Structure 1
Amino acid sequence: MSLPTKRSSCFSAASSSSSSPPMKKAKNGLHQTPQSQEDDNDKEAFSMEDDPTPAAANLSRKKATLPQPTKKLVIKLNKAKPTLPTNFEENTWAKLQSAIQAIFLMKPVTFDFEGLYQAVDNLCLHKLEEKLYQQIEKECEEHISAALQSLVGQNTDLSVFLSLVEKRWQDFCDQMLMIRSIALSLDRKYVIQNPNIRSLWEMGLQLFRKHLSLAPEVEQRTVTGLLSMIENERLGEAVNRTLLNHLLKMFTALGIYMESFEKRFLECTSEFYAAEGMKYMQQSDVPEYLKHTEGRLHEENERCMLYLDAGTRKPLIATTEKQLLECHISPILDKGFTILMDGRRTEDLQRMYTLLTRVNALEFLRQALSSYIKKTGQRIVMDDEKDKDMVQSLLDFKNSLDTIWEQSFSKNESFGNTIKDSFEHLINLRQNRPAELIAKFLDEKLRAGNKGTSEEELENTLEKVLVLFRFIQGKDVFEAFYKKDLAKRLLLGKSASIDAEKSMISKLKNECGSQFTNKLEGMFKDIELSKEINESFKQSSQARTKLPSGIEMSVHVLTTGYWPTYPQMDAKLPHELNVYQDIFKEFYLSKYSGRRLMWQNSSGHCVLKAEFPKGRKELAVSLFQAVVLMLFNDAQKLSFEDIKDSTNIEDKELRRTLQSLACGKIRVLVKVPKGKDVEDGDEFVFNEDFTASLYRIKVNAIQMKETVEENASTTEKVFHDRQYQIDAAIVRIMKTRKVLSHTLLITELFQQLKFPIKPADLKKRIESLIDREYLERDKNNPQIYNYLA
């Protein structure tokens, strides 16, 4: 006898065209009862009344005069509750219990799974779900408890013990899934309708968690084994990652991962890396330590992906970073940063930058960079013996810093500003010398003798030097020396490229404004105008009729305000040169009336054709050298005194001129006695044995070298010009403020003046203005100044 799965219904139909009673069918169910014994409440009957058939319709048309009865459809539902067989519940549970026990004992189930599923469904149909759920829960608890208790007291190796735990867990999962598939109707009909009831799977997890907590030895030993396996893996041993994955998933599924495992795991991780960090920092250099740290972080990240819970990643990485990086920031920077910077090890520096970014320690790295730049740059700037190479060293240093900034520091704006600020500090450690040397470096690069450099390379060099120029505070010092060197290049025709010269002027103009380059641009205008004047002079009647033959002369007419101030040096020039000067002066004044010409003999240069016994040569010399050499056209031997009387050249300049002719590499004259310096009483003889491989020979090397006195003169002129700027600034401030204390006045001056200045120098200028009655001291407080209108 089988239990029906659905309630059956009896249908009875009655037709109005039939006078017979409604037909009744036997109801399918557990009991087949006679028709006369059925109760109206235990059946479902359907009665159809007055439903016309086609035949009836035809009949009605034939008998249209007869009245037709009203036809209606009536449905009556009679609910019948099937009767359960005797001992049905006990017999069904016995069958289910036997199947559950077989599943837990991993024995074959003797019953058909479809029949088991149908049995659970029938129990649910007859409202026996609650008792069935309790019976299944009790049966599962007995077996789960036994399975976990079997692990208590196991004296096996940790790895074997973990395998046993994994086996119990995998068996439990398989068993609960099989039981759930049999009792699926229970989950669908009973659990869903009762929110407070766990699903069979969740019920199984709760039971497993409960009995695992009742066997703390098992849980603790499992966690200890897991931590031991992970530590062994960190030490380089191969471990069973699948086992780790399954057991940690077990902890996660049971909801005890964070409490039972993660907390202890993070503590062990912290202890492990704290010890390792101390050990490696002492034994290895910084690049190796950084590589090791990078590798460890990669391993921990991979560990999270392979078997740890996803939520562990953030605290695990943070713990690793803290012990390997955050606790060792100072040793890492102190021990390795300078080495990496000196070695230009961009890859290692990038690794350092990336790792320190992870622990928000970039500020420490930025401070280390600033300190390194200042310390290294100070050795470059403050070493007097290396002044010759200072600018090139600074350019190389800046270039390396820019490369590191781009490749290692990800073009971080803060680091870029640090490089700029630190460079500005170091380049102004010596107030004026770097500005002077930068100007001389440009002079060297822009000279015609700078061979092996293309226009593109020269342009790149000018751009790089301009970067150094931006850091200079005393730009007026640079301007003074640059203008002096530019004047020499223009007057002697030694510029490598006029286009390059103008390009540099344009760069300076963009950087500092037109006022800064006004005089420099004026110098170029004078040179261009002088070319036009010389062309006009050569075509003039004075030049065609009065000039001595055999002499070619070119004159640069310079505007006094644009060019450096040259010392006025007189000399007795050869007759031919005097005649040439007079004729040119006559021509110029006739063309430009109201002007005055002053000949700057110290800036002139000549090319002499010299006849030596061993061959003819052309000598490129200064005007003073030419005057001295032309004396030997009429004499074979002359003393120092004779030359001085004949040329009227100033003593110091004459000694330097003779030294360049008789004591340098190219000795057109022979000094008696021999020596490097020219003394009173020395005699000079034309060198008839002079030989040289070149036809044109430059003899003015010593004259082109700048003396200490010339540098001092240029610097002094800069200071003199600064006095006017300081005075103007003081008057401008006081005119606005009327009354001001000494401290505030000094503070405002430092803000307005664009060059470095000492407070003592400012005080002197204030005193000077007081003496000249621009300011006065307050009668009640000498530290307060009043402006005198």
Structure 2
Amino acid sequence: RGRAMAVRTRKLVIKPFREKPKVPTDFEDESWRKLQVAVDAIALRQPINMSREELYCIVEDLCHHNKGQGLYLRLRDACARHISRQVSELARQVSSDTVFLSAVERTWSTFTEQTLTIRSIFLYLDRSFALHNPNFAGIWECSLELFNTCLGEHGELEARITKALLRTIEDERSGASINSTLVRNVMRMLSALQIYERCFEEPFLRESRVFFSGEGSRLVEATAPAEFLVHCENRLTQAVEMATHYFAPCTRRPLLHAIEDMLIKPHTSTIVSKGFDQFQAANRTDALRRLYLLFQRVDRLEEVKAAFNAYLKRLGLELVNDDQREKVVVQEMLTLKAAADATLRSSFSESDMFRRAVKDAFEYTLNVRGNRMAELMAKFLDTKLRGEKGVSDYEVEAQLEQLMVIFRFVHAKDVFEAFYKKDLAKRLLLGKSASFDLERSMIAKLKSECGSAFTNKLEGMFKDVDLSVDLMIHYAEARADSGAEDKRDVNVQVLTTGYWPAYPPSSIVFPSDLAPHRDHFVNFYTTKYQGRRLAWQHSLEHCIVRAAFPSGRKELDVSLFQTTLLLCFNSADTLTFGDLRTRTGLEVDELSRTLQSLACGKVRVLRKEPKGREVSESDVFHYNAEFTQKLFRIRINSIQAKETSREVEKTHDSVKRDRQYSIDAAVVRIMKSRKVLSHNLLLSEAMSQLLFPTSAPDVKKRIESLIEREYIERDEDSPNTYRYLA
């Protein structure tokens, strides 16, 4: 077993100094001497005889003994001396711009390198003294201030730097290659010294405005518009590159403004007047795009829009005012619209401003001749919907879509509707329509664009055609039930008078062979629909006639007028014009056209004496026993009477009457609602409600007519005020 043993411990006691240690009297001076030697060595690019750590500790000791302010002032004086020497050496440089700027760069590089080295040694001073004393700048900031002061003392030095930089930039603008790194470093020096704006930016921007003003005035006359635009674009690109690589960020926008204000903006009118039509005619979408983007920068797009609008108007007027091109004017307007839309997409960013320019141009050109383009559009549609050889339904549908685009710009839509309805009736009743699907598609487009009221009659025409099909099914059943022995097919289309165009009555001696069939149908229809009356439109009827020729039997697809003439030759092989007129009862013009189709066309089932293309009242006609044709069923087209100016005028008169009724209805409707209204307000409100172009005198005439018919009256006390008469 062990025994507990007592352990004696010793304590170390440290007693304080009886007196506080004293700092040597030469401590501050001796410490600075060591530091000054180091600072001078750094400034003269010589080796330092002490380590940076030792020097840092000296600085730290001085600061701990409250010697920071004195140390700071001594360091500032030493730095000022060395910086002054360096700047003075730079000022003595006499050389080219590039060599001089290289010397500036070296001086600055040396300065920054030495300043950072000195700061690393005096870092404790910087953080413990300068940072906490607002009256003393940091070592780096102080050095910059000293450098700036020395530059100021050598005023010509700043001017030399500015001129050297400006000449170097001018060399680059002229196409010369420059030392971009050198320029960038000098610019950074100016920015660090906070003299960039005074020493470079302000004189540079002044010089740039003068330069671009002179260059613009010279080049706009010496180069083509397209080349001038390319040059402007290149200048902007060059400016952006300069701003990115050399200049301070604050210079970019003023420099671009200088180019816009002095190189582009003063010459916009000249560029547009000299170049726009050239670009359009040559389809220079690249030049147009460049024009748009450059003018957008200077807020001058209104000039481009006006030129685009004027260009489209000029081309459009050349087309619509040329009477020799009326057959192709609609197609050419579609081509022009497609080209305008392509330019909108490729060059003008589909801008709403330029869309309005296109709309205004087409609206003007398509209505400048009043109702004429509406009429021509209806005829264009008639041609397309009758079908063209080699054109598919898909292509026709695309053309219909294109037409609807320019149809929107036409004001006289009621004129279009009148002519379209007349042509549609012929296509439906004479079997001239290439596709019912296309017909219905077109009406659907018109309904979508103009509303159901616009297409009500057109849809009614199709409804009549469909009802006629059902009616003929019932008629065929009725004939079968009656045991009729004549098996010849009969097809009748019953039309509603209000939907279809009015057709003039035709005088004809109805063939006795066909009369029983007509009478039988009339009896069937009037029995089925009591109270209704049928009026036969003989000009629209056609037949299948079986004919026997020495070469064989044929079936002839002919009109009723042609049928009536051919049946005359069952009783005689030769008949004169007068004989045929007596037997058929046809008018002279109609008889001439019908005989011409049978004796002078491609299919000649009759012979004419004397021979010729025209028919006269002295001609004699013979049954053509020598007729031959490979086909069994032969269609003999009627020679349609050309649409005379009188017929066109009648259609326009019909539209005019309808417009008068619409004006009357609008005025009465307004007065019924308002009871009392002034002349100007009634005129304005009526014209705003009408869907067709009209004038104030036209409305005034209808107001006078309504007064005469006692729908409204003038106020006795105020002649310019109207009252509604219930």
Q: TM-score higher than 0.5 here?
A: yes
Query: Residues 391, 701 of structure 1: CA spacing in aligned structure 2 closer, same or farther, 3 A cutoff?
Result: farther
Contact kept, 8 Å, 1:374 with 1:423, in 2: the verdict is yes
Deviation at 1:340, TM superposition (A): 3.0
Q: Deviations over 1:609-660 (max 9, x none)?
A: 4455666654433221222233334334433322222211122322333344
* Alignment match, 2:70: 131
Structure 1 position 290, deviation (Å): 2.6
Unaligned runs of 5+ in 2: 1-6
Q: Does 1:584 align with 2:521?
A: yes
Match among 475, 487, 498 for residue 537 of structure 1 = 475
Offset at residue 675 of structure 1 (A): 5.1
Alignment of 1:231-250 (within 5 A): 231-250=170-189
1:330 counterpart = 2:269: yes
1:559-708 equivalent positions in 2, closer than 5 A: 559-611=496-548, 618-664=555-601, 666-674=603-611, 676-687=613-624, 696-700=633-637, 702-703=639-640, 705-708=642-645
Of 399, 422, 426 in structure 2, the residue corresponding to residue 484 of structure 1 is 422
Structure 2 residue 228 is matched with structure 1 residue 289 = yes
Q: How many aligned positions are there?
A: 720
Partner of 1:518: 456
Is the 8 Å Cα contact of residues 594 and 638 (structure 2) preserved in structure 1?
Answer: no
User: Which letter does structure 1 place at the counterpart of 2:637?
Assistant: N
In structure 2, distance between residues paired with 1:724 and 1:586 = 38
Classify the secondary structure of the residue corresponding to 1:431: coil
CA distance in 1, matches of 2:43, 2:405: 82
Distance apart, 1:580 and its partner CA: 1.8
Deviation sequence 1:726-773 (CA, Å, 0-9, x none): 222222233344444544433223211111123343333233323323
- Aligned amino acid, residue 268 of structure 1: E
CA distance in 1, matches of 2:557, 2:350: 52
Counterpart of 2:434 in structure 1 is 496
Counterpart amino acid of 1:388?
K
One-letter code aligned to 1:533: L
Aligned to 1:465: 403
Change (3 A) 1:617 1:391: farther
Partner of 1:201: 140
* Alignment partner of 1:441 out of 380, 386, 397: 380
Q: Does 1:269 align with 2:208?
A: yes
Q: CA deviation at 1:262?
A: 0.2
Partner of 2:134, secondary structure, is coil
Q: What is the 5 A alignment of 1:46-57?
A: none
Structure 2 counterparts to residues 205-220 of structure 1, below 5 A:
205-220=144-159
Q: For each residue in 1:158-217, what CA deviation from the matched residue of structure 2 results, as whole angstroms up to 9, or x when unmatched?
A: 211111111111111111111111211210111012012111111111111111111121
User: What's the CA shift string for 1:565-606, capped at 9, x where partnerless?
Assistant: 111112013221222212221222222222211111011123
AA aligned opposite 1:748: E
Measure the CA separation in 2 of the matches of 1:354 and 1:144.
50
Q: Given the superposition, is the C-alpha separation of residues 754 and 547 from structure 1 closer, same or farther in structure 2, using an over 3 Å criterion?
A: farther
**Identity rate, percent:** 47
Q: Equivalent residue for 2:692?
A: 755
How has the CA–CA distance of structure 1 residues 614 and 352 changed in structure 2, closer, same or farther, with 3 Å as cutoff? farther
After the TM superposition, which residues 734-753 of structure 1 pair with which residues of structure 2 at under 5 Å, given as runs?
A: 734-753=671-690
2:163 corresponds in structure 1 to: 224
Q: What is the letter of the counterpart of residue 242 of structure 1?
A: T
**2-structure distance, mates of 1:751, 1:279:** 54
Contact between 2:102 and 2:182, CA under 8 Å: does it hold in 1?
Answer: yes
Which whole-Å CA distance do the structure 2 matches of 1:383 and 1:607 have between them? 43
Deviation (angstroms), 1:357 = 2.4
Identify if the C-alpha distance between structure 1 residues 127 and 535 changes in structure 2 by more than 3 Å, giving closer, same or farther.
same
What does residue 4 of structure 2 align with?
A: none
Distance 1:117 1:748 in 2: 94
Residue 664 to residue 775, structure 1, CA distance change in 2 (3 Å): farther
Distance 1:709 1:665 in 2: 30
Per the TM alignment, residue 410 of structure 1 is displaced from its structure 2 partner at its CA by 2.6
SS in 2 for 1:102: helix
Note closer, same or farther for the CA distance 1:289–1:565 as it changes in structure 2 (3 Å cut).
same
Structure 1 gap ranges (5+): 1-16, 28-37, 43-79
Aligned ranges 1:91-490 → 2 under 5 Å: 91-447=30-386, 449-490=387-428
d(CA) in 2 for partners of 1:342, 1:144: 67
Q: Deviations over 1:196-245 (max 9, x none)?
A: 21111111111111111111211111111111111111121110001101
Following superposition, the deviation at residue 704 of structure 1 comes to 7.0
| Conserved? CA contact 1:644–1:654, under 8 Å | yes
* Greater Cα shift, 646-655 or 451-460: 451-460
Cα distance, 1:421–1:113 mapped onto 2, change above 3 Å: same
Distance 1:645-1:305 versus aligned 2 partners, 3 A rule: same
The answer (yes or no) to whether the contact 2:90–2:107 under 8 Å persists in 1 is: no
Q: Give the structure 2 partner of residue 56 of structure 1.
A: none
Instruction: Quote the Cα distance in structure 2 between the aligned partners of 1:667 and 1:215.
Output: 112
Q: CA deviation at 1:19?
A: 14
Provide the rounded CA distance (Å) in 2 between the counterparts of 1:781 and 1:662: 72
CA contact (8 A) 2:168 2:178 kept: yes
SS in 2 for 1:681: coil
Counterpart residue number, 1:557 = 494
Partners of 1:226 and 1:244 within 8 A in 2: yes
The alpha-carbon distance between structure 1 residues 272 and 86, as it changes in their structure 2 partners (threshold 3 A), is same
8 Å Cα contact 1:660/1:703 also seen in 2: no
Regions of 4+ moved over 6 Å: 17-20
**What displacement does 1:110 show?**
2.6
Greater gyration radius: 1
2-structure distance, mates of 1:705, 1:532:
34
**Match of 1:59?**
none
Deviation at 1:18, TM superposition (A): 11
Contact 1:395 1:465 in 2 (8 A): yes
Is the contact between residue 97 and residue 168 of structure 2 (CA under 8 Å) also seen in structure 1?
A: no
